[in-house]
Structure 1
Amino acid sequence: MSTNLDQIRDQQRATWDRFSAGWKKWDSLVLGWLAPFGEVMIRHASLHEDSHVLDVAAGTGEPGLTAASLVPRGRVIVTDLSEIMLEVAAQNAVRRGLLNFDTRPCDACALPFVDASFDAVLCRFGFMFFPEVDSAAREFARVAKPNARICAAVWSAPAKNSWATTIMGTIARHVEMPPPQPGSPGLFRCAPEGLMRSAFAAAGLRNITEEEVSTAMVHETPEQYWEFMNDIAAPVVAGLAKADADTAAQIRAEVLELASQFMRDGKVHLLSTATVIVGTR
């Protein structure tokens, strides 16, 4: 791996470690919010009770935790760059009484597993942040057994994800946010149509399908949404760091006003849309 890719990986590890406390704090909310995407992935994974499953970039453990409950005679290994995030995943497994669940810190582009090790490979919201999408897809294919399913979820276009754009768009209107380099890691990096399909095809996968899935991020109040995004989203913190106190206060006021426009049944409902990509080894 080149020095530049090493730097990206190390920077990402440091970022996930730094925000791990926020992810732990909001773990229940996040698990509920993202559950529909994991459920679709697992449905496509065609798991059996003795399946061996790899969940890459799993953070605090999902959808690997759910998969472990479905493969009582099998095994699930979840990986992530951040050992601190994986500690939360391990604690979640203990609370659920899952004994067939292991964690392994590693780089998604250099998986420490032998060829043809797993009956299914999962990756929910990891591909957007990998230094090289194509390299990761090849690694997933390498460790998958023949006929294994590889299932990933990536965020769709910004217009379909008000959970992110409500705050990030407001910040961008008040402070200068340099556009990301083409192809560099970022939330919507894998949203362009055909990008993930091409990566899966180049990795030698077949029977590639895509399914768009939408759900809502739900918060009790606009203020809770603001607190949540400040606790878990590095781009939010980085953007606000560029604002002086008055500008930051104005941004907050505008975000709360925008979030209030998504109130339904007394709570904030923010659109969250992803594409689930499935390929067969």
Structure 2
Amino acid sequence: MPGTVDEIRQQQRDTWDRFSTGWKKWDELVLGWLAPFADAMLRVSHLREDAHVLDVAAGTGEPGLTAATMVPHGNVTVTDLSERMLAVASENASRRGLTNFNTRVCDAGALPFQDASFDSVLCRFGFMFFPEISVAAREFARVAKPGARICAAVWSGPDKNPWATTIMSTISRHIEMPAPPPGSPGLFRCAPEGLMRTAFEDAGLTDLHEEEVSSTMSHASPEKYWDFMTDIAAPVVAGLARADTATQAQIRGEVLALARGFIQDGQVQLRSTATVIVGTR
């Protein structure tokens, strides 16, 4: 595992560039699945029609795309390390006819914007991948105007997210994965209680509020769930790459069996839970 900030940043860029095709393929499903988290973030962001909004680590564009529809007299800038992910975001914006939406390739820990530039800063499922959480939080505060709302969503603990653990726990039962150093980027890195609140407080934000939000990831079949996770989830692909062909087949069989246990109304329905935190600059 890379150890320096620059190494981690480059690894993240390479990973998201590599998986951008999978994210584009499944974009419609992802947008629907993650919409409740975006809705909660936008609700507490209190956007005005003329607001200037920054969405950091936006990937294929949400929640910035939805924000752009809410600020017809303002504008939205979405950023990401991956140029290829942002290309998908631009395609999505063009398809929706959004003219107040633009993209910028940059690092969350070194935002290329002047102080006090934005009325709102958003970050959905980005903080857990940043090399330095506290640095990113301070950057968000720096580019926010006084009184601006800064809002993030981070995944809650593994026990509340079977969408991820159904496959990852199965892989870990068969494959010995090296334990990452404490505090390394990862899906549930920001789940510990108080971690994000402390980061926001240390960045000088006030009037903090947290709420837990849940959604359901739905797939037409256990096989579709497997296809989705092996297309978009880097840890899944990395784990499977360490297994021989027979072990991969065994893992797949066990995951499909587990997924069948989540079938309701003819769909595989997997719970997804996150914490939404908002603070005022």
Q: Same fold (TM over 0.5)?
A: yes
Name the TM-score class by shorter chain: over 0.9
Residue in 2 that maps onto 1:35: 35
1:129-183 CA deviation, whole Å, 9 max, x = no partner?
A: 0000000000000000001000000000000000000000000000001222111
Residue in 2 that maps onto 1:101: 101
Residue in 2 that maps onto 1:191: 191
Q: What amino acid does structure 1 have at the position aligned with 2:81? A: L
The TM-score normalised by the length of structure 2 is 0.99
Task: Determine helix, strand or coil for the equivalent of 1:121.
Answer: strand
Structure 2 runs not aligned, ≥5 long: none
1:14 aligns with 2:14: yes
Residue in 1 that maps onto 2:277: 277
User: In structure 2, what is the Cα distance between the partners aligned to 1:183 and 1:247?
Assistant: 30
Residue in 1 that maps onto 2:131: 131
User: In structure 2, what is the Cα distance between the partners aligned to 1:65 and 1:187?
Assistant: 23
User: In structure 1, what is the Cα distance between the partners aligned to 2:20 and 2:247?
Assistant: 27
Displacement of 1:80 after TM fit?
A: 0.2
1:30-66 CA deviation, whole Å, 9 max, x = no partner?
A: 0000000000000000001000000000000000000
1:67-87 CA deviation, whole Å, 9 max, x = no partner?
A: 000000000000000000000
What percentage of residue pairs aligned between the two structures are identical? 74
User: In structure 1, what is the Cα distance between the partners aligned to 2:179 and 2:266?
Assistant: 36
Equivalence map 1:35-184=2 (5 Å): 35-184=35-184
Residue in 1 that maps onto 2:236: 236
Displacement of 1:223 after TM fit?
A: 0.1
Task: Determine helix, strand or coil for the equivalent of 1:108.
Answer: coil
Q: What amino acid does structure 1 have at the position aligned with 2:272? A: S
Q: What amino acid does structure 2 have at the position aligned with 1:267? A: Q
User: In structure 1, what is the Cα distance between the partners aligned to 2:215 and 2:82?
Assistant: 27
User: In structure 1, what is the Cα distance between the partners aligned to 2:77 and 2:215?
Assistant: 27
Task: Determine helix, strand or coil for the equivalent of 2:217.
Answer: strand
User: In structure 1, what is the Cα distance between the partners aligned to 2:213 and 2:112?
Assistant: 31
1:224 aligns with 2:229: no
Q: What amino acid does structure 2 have at the position aligned with 1:274? A: A
1:242-272 CA deviation, whole Å, 9 max, x = no partner?
A: 1111111000000000000000000000010
Structure 1 runs not aligned, ≥5 long: none
The TM-score normalised by the length of structure 1 is 0.99
User: In structure 2, what is the Cα distance between the partners aligned to 1:143 and 1:207?
Assistant: 18
Task: Determine helix, strand or coil for the equivalent of 1:181.
Answer: coil
RMSD: 0.9
Alignment size in residue pairs: 280
Q: What amino acid does structure 1 have at the position aligned with 2:155? A: W
User: In structure 2, what is the Cα distance between the partners aligned to 1:70 and 1:272?
Assistant: 26
User: In structure 1, what is the Cα distance between the partners aligned to 2:248 and 2:85?
Assistant: 29
Residue in 2 that maps onto 1:263: 263
1:66-117 CA deviation, whole Å, 9 max, x = no partner?
A: 0000000000000000000000000000010100000000000000000000
Task: Determine helix, strand or coil for the equivalent of 2:4.
Answer: helix
